Amino acid sequence: MKKVAILGGRRTPFVKAGTSFKDVSLLDLAKLNVEGTVEALGLPVEQIEELVYGTVLLNPRYPNLAREIVLRTKLSNQTNAHFVSNNCITGLVAASVLSDSIRSGRVSLGLAGGVEAMSKPTLTLSNQAEAFFLNFNYAKSLAEKLKLLSTFRPNFLFPKAPSPKEPSTGLTMGQHCELTTKEFNISREAQDHLALNSHLNASKAISDNLFQDEILPVGKVTADNLVRGNTTMEKLSALKPVFDRSERGTLTAGNSSALTDGASCFCLASEEKARELGREPIAFIEDIQFAAINPNDGLLMAPALAMNQLFEKNNLTMDQVDLFEVHEAFAAQVLANMDVWENSWYKFPQLKKLGKIPVEKLNLNGGSLALGHPFAATGGRLIISLANELKRKNLKTGVISVCAAGAMAAAVLIKRY
């Protein structure tokens, strides 16, 4: 099996939904991202064999968004294009699909990534409205149509935004996370402290120009706009809970990731292809593991299993990992999974204790709480950021963990040689 080299990647600025990118469509943001990445990396477009790209907030106008990107950029029309979508791990699913293609030798050079335009979600109708308009369309006679018109209600004309609720449970992700917070007795103070570190680390990374070679400007937008380097524990502790408004609620806008617009794209190649192109790989994707559990066991707790699988399969120990990138959907979710990695979990007694992640190895340049979380783009950001940081610090081993709606998760092992 061939090794999978990371040749580089770029992302757009991550911006709060409804702000800088509120008028930019899903497809336009993706096109800018992919074409900008190809140009920034100086890739030979005629040799890019595959694009694997996704989004979570689906637009039925583009059933294969990846192919539409190919046809609207400088990529060759002969470039294969595959669309993927799996909530917050979409970008890592894209990485897995392309990695498998390269390991098997089916392709040698490709792009992967994802985009989210949360400012412009596709609106739908209620179930009753959809049924009415479909039946009206199927009606063949005037009499049938007139009869159906008697069932029409004015509210059929009001569109619906995508629901934040889990289809299987009826609860939002935040409500599920509140349940986990109570199960693990995670304090509000601990959550706010993690959020504070995320913003301070991201602010320092910006001051040190660490994102300069990662971010592609989009028009006049050149930087992320969610980072609050001047936040404090006092400011964070003053925010009110938003998912459980009782005195027991602890999840706030400050310790939960925000709705975000953004896109990311990265280039993977076989080691042989990298050598042929005269490129030195930044790092290599060694392994990607996926896991899933019952949502009622903890919607965002599948990383507990995914990380365990990754460590066991690759004979890893905590002290062998130089850097960790743990996706911060919520501060509480990070803390709960870290608790399981350190102490195991009665719900899954087969899990081994992996140990404690040292704070000096965790999300050194900030995480999703500070930078934002455009669902399908987060995986690409993590791969790009971790690979660059390993190279910058001349370190060898990094691990990524991402939770996802539907009670799934992914864990990725990245190495430099």
CA-to-CA separations, 83 to 193, 376, 409, in angstroms, rounded:
38, 11, 19
Measure CA 46 to chain center: 29
Closest C-alpha among 29, 35, 31 to residue 13:
29
Structure tokens at 87: 């909530």
CA atoms within 13 A on the CB side of 389: 24
Can you give the length of the chain in residues?
417
Catalytic residue IDs? 88, 373, 403
Q: Tokens 């790989």, residue? A: 281
Instruction: Residue 10: name the closest of 31, 40, 30 by CA.
Output: 40
Pairing of strands 80-84, 50-54: parallel
Nearest Cα residue to 98 out of 86, 83, 88:
83
Q: Is residue 405 within 8 Å of 171, Cβ to Cβ?
A: no
Smallest CA-to-CA distance from 45 within 73, 81, 9, 26 is with 73
